[in-house]
């Protein structure tokens, strides 16, 4: 006689269905607090259909995706039990969505780190962009013509905003090149 899909399963039935030894299921109960089969007299375990789907999802993450137990624990903490259940039922869109979110978060974190690094570099190197030159050059951009003192009119800066932005962008590019060179050494 076949059981209903909504019926509770014993540990031996779940182990057979998932092709896992029973001791692995008991071990997972100690490692994943989300696995809580109903226990009857004598410690006999009964798994709900949702529990079986979650176990199937955990098995997939451990055996097919190559996650460690700590990695799966972290995924369950961050994404919840429904995540493992969705994977266990074959809904890989939950896994793909998680992978997409992780990639976006990593990219955003990398961009934020880069902005912070550039901002810190600009603050440290601000004296390169403002103030009088230490040596008298050949005018703005080295093209000859008037010097900085001669180009100032009524307290205006030596460079207009557009040229200053271009110089600042060039500085960022050079600093990034320097960082890459330093890393390769």
Give the distance from CA 118 to its chain's centroid.
21
Is this prediction's pTM over 0.75?
no
Give whole-number Cα distances, 2 to 13, 19, 37, 53, 107, in Å: 12, 18, 21, 19, 50
Domain topology for 9-90: Multidrug-efflux Transporter Regulator; Chain: A; Domain 2 (1.10.1660)
* Per-residue pLDDT tens digits for 14-28: 999 999 999 999 999
The tokens for 85 are: 């259940």
Q: Where are the domains of the chain?
A: 9-90
* Per-residue pLDDT tens digits for 161-183: 777 777 777 777 788 778 778 87
Residues of the chain with pLDDT under 70: 1, 94-95, 115, 117-159
């Amino acid at each position: 006689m076949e059981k209903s899909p909504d019926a509770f399963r014993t540990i031996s039935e779940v182990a057979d269905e998932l092709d896992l030894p029973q001791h692995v299921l008991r071990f997972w109960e100690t490692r994943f607090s989300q696995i809580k089969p109903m226990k009857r007299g004598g410690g006999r375990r009964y798994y709900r259909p949702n529990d079986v789907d979650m176990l199937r999802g955990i098995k997939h993450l451990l055996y097919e995706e190559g996650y460690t137990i700590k990695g799966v624990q972290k995924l369950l903490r961050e994404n919840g039990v429904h995540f493992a259940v969705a994977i266990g039922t074959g809904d890989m869109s939950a896994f793909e969505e998680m992978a997409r979110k992780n990639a976006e978060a990593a990219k955003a974190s990398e961009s934020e780190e880069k902005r912070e690094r550039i901002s810190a570099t600009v603050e440290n190197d601000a004296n390169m962009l403002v103030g009088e030159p230490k040596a008298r050059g050949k005018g703005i951009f080295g093209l000859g013509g008037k010097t900085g003192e001669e180009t100032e009119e009524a307290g205006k800066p030596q460079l207009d905003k557009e040229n200053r932005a271009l110089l600042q962008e060039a500085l960022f590019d050079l600093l990034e090149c320097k960082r890459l060179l330093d890393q390769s050494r």
